[in-house]
Amino acid sequence: MEDANANAAAPSGDESEPIRWRRDASTSRTVWALWSLGVGTFFAAISIVAFWRVYDLALQLGLGGVVLAAGAGVIATVLAFALTENTEQRLQRLTSRLPVSSPSGRGLERATDAALGTIAMMAIIVSLMVAGRVVSQNGLLGGIGAGPFTGLAAITIPLALLALVLASFLRSVGAFDREEGAIYLYDPEQAVDLDVIEAVSIRQVGSVAVLTLTYIERDGTYVAGPRRLVVPPAVAVAVQDVVESNR
């Protein structure tokens, strides 16, 4: 996985060629971490609640150990599939005799990322809950009880939502065509004509640039379009040069 800035390029220095870039979970560690942990937190919370109910019922039937072993086996299997280099081939062999189709390509990558994020967040949330229980039962840390640990576990949900919002904002796939004077965004598809842009400002954050667009609004008419874009610095500078030359 590379930094997104390395995925922007103007082919062979030819200014007639569009500058293309891709910044998503497959090219940016930041977007990958935010998306994986954000999605993983929600799946982890659901999994913990469901597992606890099954485990509680199994305890009453004397099968608690079986459920724990099954849960550990599922986690180990998911990790084995997620961390292997030939995950797609293994899934195809596993589902070849089943009436279902296995995910592939980007779909498989996102499923793997979500699975790893889920396991990571399950480990964090369960660790906090166990730590709170130990502290509460043994009167440790000045008898603060399990409250702080439970609170930290609960706050992972709003933090996960924030992580997904940031991942969506930082995600950017598109192309800048100097000759046409337009920015083309993909997924969702959208075109920004620089003729309706009055000014741009650039704020570099790490290896990316936040490009703020100010539209020409004649007679107070609102112009639809993105106001901020996260792009590689080279793209931001190229857009600014074109806008300034059009003045």
Average pLDDT on 44-70 reads 90
Does 71 share its domain with 126? yes
Average pLDDT on 136-152 reads 78
Q: Which amino acid is at 235?
A: V
Determine the pLDDT at residue 122.
93
User: Angle of helix 105-138 relative to helix 147-170, nearest 10 degrees?
Assistant: 160
More confident residue, 84 or 178: 178
List Cα–Cα distances, 27 to 5, 170, 171, in angstroms.
9, 12, 10
Select from 170, 195, 216 the last residue of a domain. 170
Out of 11-20, 98-107, 197-206, give the one with best mean pLDDT: 197-206
Residue 200 lies in a domain: yes
pLDDT digits 0-9 by tens, 70-113: 989 988 988 887 777 666 666 666 666 666 565 566 777 888 88
What is the CATH number for 232? 2.30.29.210
Domain range for residue 229?
16-23+172-245
Note the helical H segments in the chain: 29-60, 64-83, 87-95, 105-138, 147-170, 233-245
